[in-house]
Amino acid sequence: MKTQRAQAWLAAAGLCAGLLGGTAQAADNEARAVIKALDRALLSSELAGRVTSLPRRAGDAFKKGDLLVALDCNLYQAQAAKVAAEHKGARLKMENARQLKELRSIGALEVTMAESDFAQTQAALRIAQLNAERCSIRAPWPGRVVAVHVNPYENVRQQQELIEIINDRQFEAEVVVPANWMRWLKPGTPLELRVDETGTTASAKVTAITPAIDAVSQTVVLRATLADGSQLIPGMSATAAFNLPPAQ
């Protein structure tokens, strides 16, 4: 009876050892990863003014070029119109000065001064137009709104944070791997990401390996571009699984 119990215990111990060994072996090709957006921006106001429009809220999607924030632009538009009128007058004076010079009614100095005035008004007009364009903050790429930091009709100051956005179509993963993996890891190496939060998998390829090793942990960070990030959100955690070379 004791012999049978001993044999049963040994068999169970062997089974547990086999499972633990298999788990350790599978973990040899795995590393932890964090999902990040390739494009993420916190947009600020380049001008001081009153918010007149906020067509997007947190979570809303937008296309490239869509309006995200609009400021009251009446003052800047009026300044641009004033400078445009001055620019037109300077152009007429320059053209008149050139005609008078051909008739030898004025000298070259007067023509040069007229051309200089025209160039100054041209630069001032460009500045006024740029200020007017800055009243409308548009999306630099397609994506989604992360957070809105202002409300309609609020007066904002220059460089104040207005809206945070991400590109939800292009993601990458930062993976921390043992430094000795650099013997076989290289850009283009495929891997599979198992996302913790959703349980889904995503294919990726190594894009770059940082040229620095952490002296304490003997690890290195690599970046991997995902083939499809439609179901991902920045900040998700994942397990990256690599196909080890036969020698490993």
- Residue 133, judged by CB atoms within 10 A of its CB (0-12, 13-18, 19+), counts as middle
Say what the pLDDT of residue 7 is: 43
- pLDDT for the residue 223: 95
What are the tens digits of pLDDT across the range 145-179?
A: 999 999 999 999 999 999 999 998 889 999 999 99
What is the C-alpha separation between 96 and 107, in angstroms, rounded?
A: 13
| Positions of the chain with pLDDT under 50 | 1-26, 248
pLDDT of residue 246: 60
Neighbouring residues of 68: CB distance < 8 A, sequence distance ≥ 6 = 43, 54, 55, 56, 62, 137, 138, 139, 145, 162, 163, 165
Count of beta carbons in the 10 Å neighbourhood of residue 204: 25
Q: What is the pLDDT at residue 113?
A: 93
Strand partners, 193: 202, 240
pLDDT at 1: 45
Domains and CATH numbers, the chain: 28-38+169-242 (2.40.30.170), 41-166 (2.40.50.100)
Q: Quick one: pLDDT at residue 128?
A: 93
Provide the pLDDT for residue 243. 81
Q: What pLDDT does 174 receive? A: 95
Q: Is the pTM of this model over 0.75?
A: no
